[in-house]
Amino acid sequence: MTERWIKAADTAELPPGSMKRFDYEQHRYLIVNVDGQIYAVDDQCTHEDVSLYLGCIEDHNIKCSLHGSRFCLKTGRPLEEPADEPIGTYPVKIDDNQILIQPKI
């Protein structure tokens, strides 16, 4: 089986400290640039189904705007309650100034 990579954005669209969300096959993803390190995660808090795009980046974590749950962008692991379930994380690669992710299958 071949790996499937999809374009999430051009690198110019995601400067350090920014986030961008996008939909692919009825699933919403969030890409985040932390000091040049690009992460791809689910754009949904596992506690109350709120978009993490509305939250803020704190180091290599993302904080939900509703109740303050924080998630590790690398592993998806919840770092602070009330969330106790991880968010999905996805492989990322840069090819010809395009940010590509391996989507949920």
pLDDT at 1: 52
What range does the domain containing 65 cover?
Answer: 6-101
What's the mean pLDDT in 39-67? Answer: 95
Dist. CA 81–CA 2, nearest whole Å: 38
The reply to whether 1 falls in a domain is no
56: domain CATH number is: 2.102.10.10
Q: pLDDT by residue (tens digit) across 11-33?
A: 999 999 999 999 999 999 999 99
Neighbours of 2 (CB within 10 A): 4
In this prediction the pTM is: 0.93
- Percent of the chain scoring above 90 in pLDDT: 90
Q: Indicate if the pLDDT at residue 105 is higher than 80.
A: no
Q: How many domains does the chain have?
A: 1
Dist. CA 3–CA 71, nearest whole Å: 27
Q: Indicate if the pLDDT at residue 60 is higher than 80.
A: yes
